[in-house]
Amino acid sequence: MMADPKSLYQEVILDHNRKPRNYGTLAHASHKAEGHNPLCGDHLSLTMNLDGDRIDGIAFHGESCAICKASASMMTATVKGKTRADAETLIREFRDMATGKLDLTGQPHHLGRLTVFAGVRDLPTRVKCAILPWHTLHAAFNSVVSASTESEDDPMHAPIGDA
Amino acid sequence: MTAIQTALKSRQGTGFDVERIRADFPILNLKVGGKPLVYLDNAASSQMPQPVIDRLVRYQTSQHANIHRGVHYLSETATREYEEARRKLAHFINAREEREVIFTSGTTEAINLVMHGHGRKFIGAGDEIILTTLEHHSNIVPWQMLCEEKGAKIRVVPINDAGELLIDEYEKLFNERTKFVGVMHVSNALGTINPIKSMIEFAHARGVPVLIDGAQAAPHLQVDVQDLDCDFYAFSGHKLCGPTGIGILYGKAALLERMQPFKGGGDMILSVTFEKTTYNTIPYKFEAGTPPIAAAIGLGAAVDYLSGIGMHAIAAHELDLLNHATAQLSRMPGVRVIGTAGEKAAVLSFMVDGVHPHDVGTLLNQDGVAIRTGHHCAQPVMQRFKLPATSRASFAFYNTTAEVDALVAGIRSVQKVFS
């Protein structure tokens, strides 16, 4: 199973699931948001400190599947220290990759190691698991306190089959 | 005698040949990602055997027209076959009369029909409806909609840690405001077989009608609506080897006659003027518009197929599978069976420690094993066990012990991936 390069459950994802980075809550966060996928019960809580335009600190915790937790862990590790504009570019690119709109080989992008999640595009019911942390980051930037994968007015809303 | 004891008793002497049965199901030959399909998601939907597929083809190729309308050959043929399907369904559940069987789009529509036709007429402000923690959302939400409209109230029968209804608590919920009981026969999330016969008897002693959601029972147990004495019994065709888009509502004739129609339209009327419309008799009063004729005839063929094997033989084989699976999963370190009722049918919910059910499902899929993961449209059950979701394997009579072993091996590799 692990020899299959198409497998979503690559070692890097399993590692981030086992030992999530930036796991917890920031005491004095300037921005925060709750992410929830009512279809599968995934839930995560994101706290973030913006120093001007730069992400000074970021942490998450919650209950979710391995794909969601690893995505959150790798997201926080990637965006920490980046500007809001850079993080928002990543949000857009990650979403496009997960929904199959981004051609990883043909189009320029900044996803780096985050491309390990590209396999979710073939698993429609799991796309939302991978995207939820990025939904939540988007919500935190916009001081939206609660994000849901199912709210129609969410600009991140991806119309994909139910889980 | 309990349903399980009946099943065990009838096992003796039955020549149940699962390989011969599997040969009837073309889809079971499918390979998924190069692995043989192991289909253990039967509680969500079952597969269709060749005789039912053939019946649909025969209808569409030589018998189709609209029913109850034309005087021509095809319309008369289609009408006869549609009504013959109703007769088969009535026989399948031992209804007193064919007109007590109403074709619906499925269990959900059947329950909504009772809510609109009976509930809106006979349940009012301050009245109480008894449901159970085990209910599928389809036997919760329609009643909440009614309560919102009428100012009625839902009372809920709790369950114990095994997933069994607390019957003492059920009996305590009754009072002079109790107007209706809705309970599922078999739990889709846990597999619990509920003691509906005694629950119905208790409700009837207090003059309260009872609706049984039989979606997970009709495919696995012999259902006898006269013996149960239920007022309504609903199930879906696609869970018992029939097509989607068809199901039935059984209702006692006297109750159906007092109910108001659910949908208005053609075929459900005797006469229409702009001043007054006279409704048709039952069951047609509840079958407005052109029904899914082919699907109904397909469902008739499906119950013929199941009856040919025998519901007792089916129940006995499925119990073997369930016992085999339960024994193996119970022995596995790090695996927890959710729902350990004394009487269960065909459903095995479980948790793998440290692995979210969605990850279990995706990894099993890579081995060709199809299970369901999630809350199973039974969120109150999940809340009761403080779980966001479970993994659920559900069996049909065409599954084998080798397939159960494939599930067990698949769970072992899930554990290895996450170790």
The tens digit of pLDDT for each residue in B127-168 reads 999 999 999 999 999 999 999 999 999 999 999 999 999 999
Which band of pLDDT confidence, cut at 50, 70 and 90, is reported for residue B5? low
Residue A158: what pLDDT? 46
Is A41 in Cβ contact with B388 (below 8 Å)? yes
CA distance A119 to chain B (A): 12
Is B382 in Cβ contact with A1 (below 8 Å)? no
Residue B157: what pLDDT? 98
B295's tokens: 């699907």
- Give percent of chain B with pLDDT exceeding 90: 89
Mean pLDDT of B85-111: 98
- The C-alpha atoms of residue B267 and residue B345 are separated, in whole angstroms, by 38
Of A86-95, B231-240, B266-275, B395-404, the one with minimum mean pLDDT is B266-275
- The C-alpha atoms of residue A152 and residue A11 are separated, in whole angstroms, by 34
Residues recorded for chain B = 419
Residue A79: which of A110, A119, A37 has the closest Cα?
A110
B239 and B45 Cβ atoms separated by less than 8 Å? yes
Q: How far is CA B363 from the centre of its chain?
A: 28
Mean pLDDT of B176-186: 98
Residue A146: what pLDDT? 57
- The C-alpha atoms of residue B324 and residue B317 are separated, in whole angstroms, by 11
Mean pLDDT of B232-241: 98
Q: What is the mean pLDDT of chain B?
A: 95
pLDDT surpassing 80 at residue B30:
yes
Q: Report the 10 Å Cβ neighbour count for B110.
A: 30
CA atoms in the 13 A half-sphere facing the CB of A89: 12
Please name the amino acid found at residue B385: F
- The C-alpha atoms of residue B144 and residue A130 are separated, in whole angstroms, by 34
Alpha helices in B335-378 (DSSP H): 357-366
Is B362 in Cβ contact with A8 (below 8 Å)? yes
- What CA–CA distances, in Å, run from B186 to B78, B194, B271? 34, 6, 41
Residue B9: what pLDDT? 54
CA distance B386 to chain A (A): 11
Q: Which residues neighbour B85 within 8 Å (Cβ) at sequence distance 6 or greater?
A: B296, B297, B299, B300, B301
For residue B407, what is the enclosing H or E element?
A: helix B401-417
pLDDT surpassing 70 at residue B14:
no
Is pLDDT larger for residue A145 or for residue A68? A68
pLDDT surpassing 60 at residue A1:
no
Mean pLDDT of B387-401: 96
Highest mean pLDDT, choosing among A3-7, B310-314, B384-388 = B310-314
Nearest residue in chain B measured CA to CA from A163: B374
Mean pLDDT of B367-396: 94
Q: Given CB atoms, is A67 within the 8 Å cutoff of chain B?
A: yes
Mean pLDDT of B406-412: 97
pLDDT surpassing 70 at residue B256:
yes
Which band of pLDDT confidence, cut at 50, 70 and 90, is reported for residue B4? low
Residues of B recognised as catalytic? 377
CA end-to-end distance (rounded Å), chain A: 23
Residues recorded for chain A = 163
pLDDT surpassing 90 at residue A143:
no
Mean pLDDT of B268-293: 91
B-chain CB neighbours of A8 within 8 Å are 362
Is A64 in Cβ contact with B356 (below 8 Å)? yes
- The C-alpha atoms of residue B50 and residue A16 are separated, in whole angstroms, by 47
Which band of pLDDT confidence, cut at 50, 70 and 90, is reported for residue B277? confident
A-chain CB neighbours of B375 within 8 Å are 40-41
Residue B106, phi-psi category: left (phi > 0), alpha (psi -120 to 50), beta (remainder): left
pTM of the model as a whole: 0.91
Mean pLDDT of B221-237: 98
Q: Provide Rg for chain B, Cα atoms.
A: 22
pLDDT surpassing 50 at residue A163:
no
Q: Which residues neighbour B377 within 8 Å (Cβ) at sequence distance 6 or greater?
A: B136, B137, B138, B188
b or e along B282-313 (b: 16 or more beta carbons within 10 Å of the residue's beta carbon)? bbbbbbbeebbbbbbbbbbbbbbbbeebebbb
Residue B182: which of B162, B195, B200 has the closest Cα?
B200
Mean pLDDT of B245-267: 95
B-chain CB neighbours of A43 within 8 Å are 388
